[in-house]
Chain A
């Protein structure tokens, strides 16, 4: 196994990375079919909800936000894999980033496409979602710019646009290469998308510039997006939501879960597409260290959040605190602490235990833990309203669960299709600078 993929001959690299595009195994078809069926089931569940009303969910008064909002925050969090990690690594010129960035950027776009659907799915009248968009309309009205939900819409639309461009730009030189040899429909696809790229010095220069600029912009957008998502909660006066810390807390949690998703994707690609020469132990080692850092940061934030509530002892906040730490949600709360902190710190902090397998185990734990974290932020607050007479319970219905499962299937489906249409590692980045080194 080569320690440095850069040292392989470019011809072999190109062959290795383009190979997955022309050959789909039975496992690929099987997974795609299963995921596709699950997505259809999710769409059917949504159809039932659109036909019958939000009553098919487990929501009630006062638990007006449930699984959909949890999923929304979760997926927007996952989307931070690409931007944060790839943009930071691009800007700091980390040489090891080459095989990681595109995999991460694709996660970002797909997670956003999925996460961005939830605010629409959870609407009472989803078919009027566009009323939140400021445009000249027959109602002669602007949306209410004071509402965090309008900020949210603007933030997410900006982020989707930005991350689509961010994924697209580094794809151009690869697609130009692919345009030369392939099936007719693919040739058409790649030549169209590569926008007539010829590889002149001027083009390279412009592309480098655009990617750098995009990295800076997307970094700012990513941080602001998750801050705004946090503000959906902290701008309210509900007990424990109204917290000044939610912005940074959510951003940290988002990056944390994003890294988890990226490690799982990297390990899967490495095994299924035989990229052992490209995604080497060092990549997982570096990602593990990043995840370890985020785990410690997450713990720090969670601790400061809860210790101030506990010490302040404000009755309404303590009601929610009690629900989380020793009430109905205690099991999930302590599970979250274990999978988000105890396990990652043990597996990744002790050098002897750190390996690709343990990184993947820790990552699955972190994904579960971060999903739970969002559940524990949304639900316990709502089941303990300020007037005790309005107290209620919440358990999600089959519709909510089906749609949640379907979004995970949608993520896998989109990723599988992407990995068959485009090289998942940027091939051109390995291209030697002088032409005589080419083969």
Chain B
């Protein structure tokens, strides 16, 4: 029975998954957004719903403009669930639908969710999506559903899971072979599909992993760190 009291930064646990996004590499191509949709069976909004703000993306690419036309510089920032160690969404859920799992992931249990919206209101990053209707896919997209990811009914909140199904698969195969999970072996869909290799995923508990080394980079920042949310997504951004 989850008590919601799992320790947040538990060094004793084998893994503490985190991500680094290099904003100086990101071209804003949004391949990550598409990959995320395909991997996680995310419903597709129709244009009218999207225009009303009813887009269902677990990952979006924010655009920041600098300067006046025609001398405009565009900066992109992929924003996904930051998997905060002190996640504001977790304590407010009355039914424990969102909680911290032992590996530090901020997980959403769809079957428990009754849709109070409190988690989404309390998320400073606005990365939670709600199923306003029962999910729909334009023909023939319903044929390519990922069998490893459950479909969510209408009335339920959802969000980025760091592709937990891929994490589990790698962990299970490593367990079966009695070997540790190799660095870079787990690749969420967004990381795998990034042509600029701007996204890196790995174990923050392993000081030698690529993600740990990049997180210590001089360019490393965290989004709205000042709120005390302790995000596990690190952005690399050259100071200008």
Contacts and interface: CB of A to CB of B under 8 A. Distances in A.
A236 interface: yes
Contacts of A146: 4, 91-92
B136 to A, nearest CB: 11
Given A53-B133, A61-B55, A238-B122, A143 B94 contact: yes
The A contact surface, by secondary structure, is: loop
A147 interface: yes
A279 to B, nearest CB: 42
Contact of A64 (B2, B79, B121, B153): B121
B174 interface: no
Nearest to A150: B94
A389 B1 contact: no
Given A147-B92, A238-B122, A131 B112 contact: yes
A141 B95 CA distance: 9
A124 B130 contact: yes
Interface string A133-162: 000000111111011111001000000000
B92 A61 contact: no
A129 B224 CA distance: 34
Contact of B117 (A122, A150, A389, A390): A122
Contacts, number: 140
A144 B121 contact: no
Contact of B131 (A58, A124, A144, A389): A124
B115 A54 contact: yes
Nearest to A132: B94
B118 interface: yes
A148 B60 CA distance: 30
B91 A61 contact: no
Given A62-B126, A64-B130, A124-B117, A53 B154 contact: yes
Contacts of A392: 53
Interface string B80-94: 000000001001111
Given A61-B126, A236-B88, A387-B79, A131 B95 contact: yes
Contacts of B116: 119, 122-124, 149
A63 B54 CA distance: 10
A143 B79 CA distance: 30
Contact of B95 (A55, A64, A132, A238): A132
A428 interface: no
Contacts of B114: 123-126, 128-129, 131-132
B12 interface: no
Q: Which size class do A's interface residues fall under?
A: 35 or more
Contacts of B49: 55
Contacts of B124: 237, 385-387
B225 interface: no
B137 interface: no
A23 B123 CA distance: 56
B129 interface: yes
Contacts of B92: 146-149, 235-236
B121 A236 contact: yes
Contacts of B91: 144, 146-147
Interface in A187-217: none
A377 to B, nearest CB: 13
Interface in B197-235: 224, 227
Contacts of A132: 94-95, 114
A335 interface: no
Contacts of B113: 124-125
B155 A387 contact: no
Contact of A60 (B52, B62, B94, B157): B52
Nearest to B77: A389
Interface in B112-151: 112-118, 120-122, 124-126, 128-134
A55 B116 CA distance: 14
Given A124-B115, A132-B95, A55 B63 contact: no
A292 interface: no
Contacts of B155: 53-54, 123-125
Contacts of B132: 53-55, 59-60
B151 to A, nearest CB: 15
Interface in A47-86: 52-55, 58-65
A227 B62 CA distance: 38
Contacts of A426: none
A262 interface: no
A60 B62 CA distance: 18
Interface string A389-425: 1101100000000000000000000000000000000
B27 interface: no
A382 interface: yes
Contacts of B105: none
B192 interface: no
A129 B52 CA distance: 27
Contacts of B156: 124-125
B62 A382 contact: no
A64 B117 CA distance: 6
B107 to A, nearest CB: 14
Nearest to B99: A144
Nearest to A395: B52
A59 B132 CA distance: 9
Given A147-B94, A385-B126, 18 more contacts: A55-B49, A55-B133, A55-B154, A58-B52, A61-B128, A122-B116, A123-B114, A124-B157, A144-B91, A148-B118, A149-B94, A236-B121, A386-B126, A387-B79, A387-B125, A389-B60, A389-B62, A393-B53
Interface of A: 52-55, 58-65, 119, 122-126, 128-129, 131-132, 139-144, 146-150, 153, 232, 235-238, 382, 385-387, 389-390, 392-393
16 contacts: A53-B155, A55-B132, A60-B54, A61-B53, A61-B129, A122-B117, A124-B113, A124-B115, A125-B115, A128-B114, A140-B1, A141-B2, A141-B95, A144-B93, A236-B88, A386-B125
